[in-house]
Amino acid sequence: MLGLMQDWPLLLHKIIDHAALQYGGREVVTRSVEGPIHRTNYSQIRDRSLRVAQRLAKDGVKLGDRVATLAWNTWRHLEAWYGIAGVGAVYHTVNPRLFPEQIAWIVNHAQDRVMLLDLTFVQLMESVQDKTPSIERFVVLTDKAHMPQTKLRNAIAYEDWIAEVDGKFEWVEFDENTAAGLCYTSGTTGDPKGVLYSHRSNVLHALQACMKDTLSVSAQDSVLPIVPMFHANAWSLAFSVPLAGAKMVMPGARLDGASVYELLEAEKVTFSAAVPTVWLMLMQHMQTTGAKLTTLNRVAIGGSACPPSMIEYFEERGVTVYHAWGMTEMSPIGTVGAIKPQLAGLPLKDVLGVKSKQGHAIFAVEMKITDDEGNRLPWDGHKFGRLMVKGPAIARRYFKRENEEILDAEGYFDTGDVATIDPNGYMQITDRAKDVIKSGGEWISSIDLENLAVGHPDVAEAAVIGVVHPKWDERPLLIIVPKEGKSPDRDGILKFMDGKIAKWWMPDDVQFVTEIPHTATGKINKLKLRQDFSSYKLPTA
Ligand code: AMP
């Protein structure tokens, strides 16, 4: 017997409809790519996203067609997402930090018909447009006054483009399992893989993200999503913030410490989300200028492991840290480190220990850890194994790879991460499976060593890679970027680490560099580091 409740498909445009109706005047503030601060609200965003949908429909863009966006977090980008999905097409977020050839590759794979791009990326696309013939028209996210001279095919300014329709348009209705968004994983090896979100998975994930023990977004908040919309759905904030009716503050192209700080204070931001490297820039700005945070009370930190010293920095200033883990394939949030009731009242030192872990699974994310034979491992906080996940907002296949099975027999997706889970359900990432250092048949976590090294007062950033060793297979090499004006030495660093980890985990050597390479999504690029140090020989070898 089936239930007798209404059929109300979970479609993305229902989110912006709700925001416009219930919180129509709530502000959406952007540091525009053109420069000035721009202010609008959910009611106007909805009206203009309807125009985007109508304008696309006028050009024959239909259900399932892909429309690329190559853009920073701005109000126009937000309108574009709702408009594209609202006509039944798929917003395909392209990461501008990729190499031009990679951009051409994914645009061709996706067969994007239209591309909406920021002024910043006009030159970039001029250089590759000959290699992306599927794009019929380039829409530059600006107005007539700022529209540059460009050779881009059929180029038009966004404001002129949406002015060509009257906005009298109804959202297209379709099944909630219809594709809504496409995002390619950065994949350090092999071709990028497209993750194809559905309306249903995005709406469910937005609801999950708002929950008190996930990101706790409410109408009282002013939220600054620094994490880009081109990186894994901006951790759902483009959906969960309007859904909750919170004020939205968009950073545009400027993500440096001073610009972020200015927005946090000027727009009375209460919650923000970003990867550790962005927070590092903010912390350095605050340290050099003596600036203080007066309204921020929560930050989400994820994308890479958040070092305990960063958690401590924020918590000491009254800002609660949500250490989160997830991935593009998971929409993206999998775990968040909210404190469970059984751990309430712990002294700060122990709270920091719990928060250094990546958190516990949110509702509708099932996790298991397995050994190499696929057997489940216990949640004892010690045994580590492959982290596998299952849920309604987690990929079951990649786009155009229909024959490739990516789930195990129980329907779990292999995250490629190695982790422990403790008896309270808190998961801790040991490493990416391919980054873990295999020494004498045992595993050493590069993340643990990095977290420890950045706790040294003179260290700005640290990375650890495995280097070939004749006796032990691999041994850890610690690579360090010193803080500005500081010159730590090898022995001082090793002495600082000594006693805080098992003896055999101690790095065999320390090298100092001015910069550590990062991937397009802000993670330490270990592949590049391994190449950079390919001719390096350990003193112990
Ligand atoms: P992406 O799909 O680009 O978001 O990358 C996902 C990967 O980033 C995960 O599989 C992890 O390896 C890594 N990652 C994300 N969040 C964290 C975190 N809090 N701690 C450690 N690694 C993380």
Provide the token pair at 97: 């930090």
Exposed, middle or buried by CB within 10 Å (0-12, 13-18, 19+), for 518?
A: middle
Residue 94 has pLDDT above 90, yes or no: yes
Q: List alpha helices for 164-236, DSSP H.
A: 199-210
Ligand 1 atom closest to the Cα of residue 185 is 2
Contact in structure between 478 and 472 (CB atoms under 8 Å)? no
**Does residue 285's CB lie within 6 angstroms of at least one atom of ligand 1?**
no
Q: Provide φ and ψ at 129, rounded to 5°.
A: -60, -30
Mean pLDDT for 196-200 is: 98
d(CA 51, CA 63): 17
Q: Give the residue from 209, 204, 233 showing the smallest Cα distance to 221.
A: 209
d(CA 136, CA 399): 22
Q: Is 185 a catalytic residue?
A: yes
pLDDT of 348 reads 83
- For ligand 1, mutation pick of 325, 414, 525, 526 (most atoms within 8 Å of CB): 325
pTM, entire model: 0.93
pLDDT of 442 reads 83
d(CA 489, CA 504): 21
Q: Provide φ and ψ at 207, rounded to 5°.
A: -65, -45
pLDDT in tens, 390-445: 999 999 999 999 999 999 999 999 999 999 999 999 999 998 888 989 898 888 99
- Of 120, 126, 315, 443, the active-site residue reads 443
The per-residue pLDDT of the chain, averaged, comes to: 95
CA dihedral 257, 261, 267, 270 (to 10 degrees): 100
pLDDT of 372 reads 85
Contact in structure between 317 and 290 (CB atoms under 8 Å)? no
pLDDT in tens, 321-344: 999 999 999 999 999 999 999 999
pLDDT in tens, 204-251: 999 999 999 999 999 999 999 999 999 999 999 999 999 999 999 999
HSE at residue 320, side-chain half, CA atoms within 13 A, is 15
- For ligand 1, mutation pick of 355, 356, 523 (most atoms within 8 Å of CB): 523
Q: Within a 10 A sphere around the Cβ of 216, how many other Cβ atoms?
A: 18
In the chain the domains, ranked by start, together with CATH numbers, are 13-22+39-199 (3.40.50.12780), 435-541 (3.30.300.30)
- Of 329, 450, 461, 474, the active-site residue reads 329
Residue 189 has pLDDT above 70, yes or no: no
CA of 332 to the centre of ligand 1 (A): 9
Ligand 1 atom closest to the Cα of residue 332 is 4
**Does residue 446's CB lie within 6 angstroms of at least one atom of ligand 1?**
no
**Does residue 415's CB lie within 6 angstroms of at least one atom of ligand 1?**
yes
Residue minimizing CA distance to atom 22 of ligand 1: 304
**Does residue 19's CB lie within 6 angstroms of at least one atom of ligand 1?**
no
**Does residue 185's CB lie within 6 angstroms of at least one atom of ligand 1?**
yes
pLDDT in tens, 339-381: 999 999 988 889 999 999 999 999 999 999 999 899 999 999 9
Residue minimizing CA distance to atom 23 of ligand 1: 304
Measured CA distances, 216 to 88, 230, 241, 305, 321 (Å): 29, 22, 10, 21, 12
pLDDT of 450 reads 94
Exposed, middle or buried by CB within 10 Å (0-12, 13-18, 19+), for 446?
A: buried
**Does residue 431's CB lie within 6 angstroms of at least one atom of ligand 1?**
no
Q: Write out the DSSP string of 58-81.
A: HTT--TT-EEEEE--B-HHHHHHH
* Percent of residues, the chain, with pLDDT higher than 90: 92
CA of 416 to the centre of ligand 1 (A): 10
Contact in structure between 409 and 391 (CB atoms under 8 Å)? no
